[in-house]
Amino acid sequence: MFARMATRRSQARRAARVLHQQPKQVASEELRILISRLEDLIQRLGSAAEPEVSRLRRQAETALASARAAIAERGVQLGDQVRDIAAQGQEYARRRPVASASLVALGLLAIGVLASRALTGDDDR
């Protein structure tokens, strides 16, 4: 019994770690699974003749269409936001070239320190 609980806890920790590290990929995969299941449900309900089942099928199709539209709209919004942020970054770099170069150098230094710690195994765990 305790072995199962420990396994469940370690699985939960692992899942939480993946969710924390890659939230966009996890959400995208969950949406893909949901849409796939809805499409499967709609296909299975397609041949039913009962009025209640037909009504439920139409509702599922409507929900699926609105979910797809919302996802597409959100993707367009994110693309616009990324373009705006990139334009702001370019404007900042044009106005303050020394500060921009300093920030880039600081970022590269941080990446170098983290990479060297990862290669040498210098963890604080």
Domain span including residue 18: 2-96
112 in a structural domain: no
pLDDT at 47: 63
Residue 121 covered by a domain: no
Distance CA 57, CA 62 (A): 9
In a domain, 59, yes or no: yes
In a domain, residue 26? The reply is yes
Name the pLDDT band for 106 (thresholds 50, 70, 90).
very high
Q: Does 125 reside within a domain?
A: no
Please state, as a whole number, how many other Cβ atoms lie within 10 Å of the Cβ of residue 28.
Answer: 12
Q: Do the domain assignments include residue 32?
A: yes
Tell me what pLDDT residue 110 has: 92
- Total structural domains within the chain: 1
pTM of the model: 0.39
